[in-house]
Amino acid sequence: MKRQFPRISELRPLMQFGRPGLDRRAARLGRAADIDDLRTIAQRRTPRPAFDYVDGAAGQELTARRTREAFASTEMLPRILHGTAAADLSTPIAGGTSALPFGIAPTGFTRFMHAEGEDGGAAAAAAAGIPFTLSTMGTRSLEQVAEVSDAVGMERYGSPGTRWFQLYLWKDRQRSLDLIERAAAAGFGTLLVTVDTPVAGNRLRDVRNGMTIPPRLSLRTVLDASHRPEWWFNFLTTDPLTFASLSTSAQDLQTIIGSMFDPTLSIQDLEWIRSVWPGRLFVKGVLTAEDTRRSLDAGADGLVVSNHGGRQLDRAPVSLKALAEVRAEAGPDVEIILDSGILTGSDIVAALALGADFTLIGRAYLYGLMAGGRQGVERAIELLAEETRVAMTLMGAATVADLRREGRVRAPWL
């Protein structure tokens, strides 16, 4: 092998040293290559009770693990020499159009995960042109989220942001009606009624962590805080955690949920909601053909196939596997959203190809939020969008409709 002295003229183009930036958060998020990287950052920067509340599931967490295994077991068929220059990720859903085939799922106690909470999530969603769903157990009010969503949407697109509201039916029906009326007045065009939470799931991580809202200061939490000073500084110097629909006192999760949710919720209650809600109505938590038919007969416009991320009934059906049964019963014209377990763009593509019209992200969104507030959520959306775009292009799918029409995904249970 003949050697020579390096030539400066040849080395100079290779010596590209980036200018160090002062925005450490942006640099940290920029190094994240996928949602799992954001999860790692989130775990490092968030107290254990908050992180485990997001990361954990019910019981032995079998449903959560099986959900991920189902996504991993799908096969995507590449389509060569198809001439697809670029994939269009926009898709119609709930009477509007989303710029991407996923939106942000409803999550409770969100400002416990990061001080920016729903403000960061709603702003990031509006900037990306996708729906943001506010939970009944959210830490910002309907009106506050509407203000943030509209401000960012008008600035970016000249139109209000798309926002949905998720409803748990209270034992006090009048308070439920008040929430419904406020949601309609604040421009929340779609209502997601969650029906799989008559009681709280047995979330053992939360029990072991002694999780309360707000967190109680103990020797353990003080030691935990010493490794995560930014979280505690934000928590102690911003407005206290409050809930539009819940008590503001410090209680464990089982007590909060037990005092709020109604285990006697019936199909008649769903019919009542339909009679008082003027917008689109989706039933969230459907996993069987029987419940599909009952929900549609009660007046639902669409369905959310969801096992609550494995956070309610452990050993419940996997949402992705239940999708085919629900679609067969609902027919081709009913809008179906797939929720639970989505952590990659390939997961989104698999759900769409197997029969969903749209998807929702929960943990993926919260990992981004914990990793870096609004910037972290924007990074999570960016990563999922790019992964979805690459997968669609490699599969020769120019549009989301192409995925559903061409059946380019194989699943071992079908």
Q: Which residues are catalytic?
A: 308
CA distances from 245 to 170, 199, 241, 273 (A): 9, 17, 12, 17
Q: DSSP for 96-128?
A: EEESSSEEEPP-SSHHHH-TTHHHHHHHHHHHH
311 Cβ contact list (under 8 Å, min separation 6): 56, 57, 58, 64, 201, 203
Residues whose CB is less than 8 angstroms from the CB of residue 324 and which lie 6 or more positions away in sequence, other chains included = 354, 355, 414
Q: Taking a C-beta distance cutoff of 8 angstroms, is the pair 308, 201 a contact? A: yes
Q: Which residues does 14 contact at the CB level (< 8 Å), separation at least 6?
A: none
Distance CA 148, CA 373 (A): 14
| Phi, then psi, of 198 in degrees rounded to 5 | -65, -30
Structure tokens of 72? Answer: 């991993």
Spatial distance between the Cα atoms of 320 and 317, rounded to a whole number of angstroms: 9
Residue 161 DSSP label: P
How many CB atoms sit inside 10 A of residue 144's CB? 18
**From CA 175, how far away is CA 169, in angstroms rounded?**
9
Q: Are strands 335-338 and 302-305 parallel, antiparallel or unpaired?
A: parallel
- The pair of structure tokens assigned to 87 is 């994939």
At a CB cut-off of 8 Å and minimum separation 6, what does 219 contact?
none
Q: Following CA atoms 279, 285, 288, 293 in sequence, which dihedral angle do they give, to the nearest 10 degrees?
A: -20
Cis omega (within 30 of 0) on the bond before 92? no
Cβ-based neighbours of 106, under 8 Å, separated by 6 or more: 133, 134, 135, 136, 138, 164, 166, 192, 194, 362
